[in-house]
């Protein structure tokens, strides 16, 4: 068994990634962030998923990027749009994945973990610049130069096993690994109990994922 840090948001993708890491015989340390996101139901979901998966440790770090503003997900002054927008969406949180991966890198160094698993996905969220394979590759190159492990020739590997999968591929893969998607929350405007709005981009993608995979959708709607 080797150690891995797994970024866990409480959504479907990272729950699937955690199951993949465990299938790959990793001792998993789950890392979540409280960043002033509107949908705090996501963090409760992350806690339940981590507990249900039996990770060695689950940390929630308060990173306070909400105070910087600039996104509908953290700034009350910007409305969450209905599905179907184009370009880089207003739900884009500036530099979010860079900050998340940086913390994962710090924790991986301290734990002496060999891998960082993340749920970055280029297919359904192609409007986010920091979800593309070339971005993750560039982060890996930077991380190799930033860390003791990298300098010593044994870099921490950053794995994005979902990066080229569609939402229905992800649902199919995760269901095969026994992921309980009823614990996960995707909605940008979820209620405190995790019930979804059914109208935002994230709800739209999730619903289509289950439909295309021909699997029952356990999502609870408001």
Which residues of the shown chain bind a copy of itself in the complex (CB under 8 A)?
A: 59, 61-65, 67-70, 88, 92-99, 102-103, 105-107, 109-110, 129-130, 132, 134-135, 138-139, 141-148, 150-151
> CB of residue 143 vs a copy of itself: minimum separation in angstroms?
7
Instruction: Choose between 52 and 98: whose C-beta lies nearer to a copy of itself.
Output: 98
- Separation CA 24–CA 19 (nearest Å): 9
- Work out how close the CB of 23 gets to a copy of itself at its nearest, in angstroms, rounded to a whole number: 27
52/85 with CB nearer a copy of itself: 85
DSSP code string of 129-186: GGGSHHHHHHHHHHHHHHSHHHHTT-PPEEE-TTTT--HHHHHHHHHHTT--GGG---
Distance CA 217, CA 208 (A): 10
Minimum distance of a copy of itself from residue 60's CB (angstroms): 10
- The number of angstroms, rounded, from the C-alpha of 79 to the middle of its chain's C-alpha atoms is 22
Nearest to 114 by CA among 57, 56, 155, 59: 155
What minimum distance in Å lies between the beta carbon of 110 and a copy of itself? 4
Given the complex with a copy of itself, which of 107 and 123 has the nearer CB atom? Answer: 107
CB contact at 8 A, 51 and 163: no
| Residue 86, number of CB atoms within 10 A of its CB | 6
Which of 145/214 has CB closer to a copy of itself? 145
Would you say 78 or 191 has its CB closer to a copy of itself? 78
Minimum distance from residue 70 beta carbon to a copy of itself (Å): 4
């Amino acid at each position: 068994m080797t150690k891995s840090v797994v970024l866990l948001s409480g959504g479907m993708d990272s729950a699937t990634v955690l199951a993949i890491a465990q299938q790959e015989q990793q001792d998993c340390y789950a890392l979540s962030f409280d960043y002033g996101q509107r949908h705090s139901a996501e963090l409760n979901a992350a806690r339940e998923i981590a507990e249900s998966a039996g990770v060695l440790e689950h940390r929630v770090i308060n990173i306070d990027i909400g105070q910087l503003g600039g996104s509908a997900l953290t700034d009350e002054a910007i409305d969450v749009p209905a599905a179907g927008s184009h370009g880089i969406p207003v739900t884009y949180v500036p530099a979010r994945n860079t900050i998340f991966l940086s913390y994962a890198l710090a924790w991986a160094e301290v734990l002496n973990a060999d891998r960082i698993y993340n749920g970055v996905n280029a297919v359904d969220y192609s409007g986010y610049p920091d979800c593309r394979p070339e971005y993750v590759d560039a982060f890996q190159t930077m991380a190799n130069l930033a860390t003791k492990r990298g300098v010593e020739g044994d870099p921490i590997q950053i794995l994005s096993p979902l990066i080229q999968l569609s939402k229905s591929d992800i649902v199919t893969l995760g269901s095969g690994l026994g992921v309980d998607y009823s614990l996960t929350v995707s909605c940008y405007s979820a209620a405190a109990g995790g019930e979804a709005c059914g109208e935002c981009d994230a709800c739209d993608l999730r619903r289509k994922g289950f439909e295309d995979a021909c699997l029952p959708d356990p999502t609870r709607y408001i």
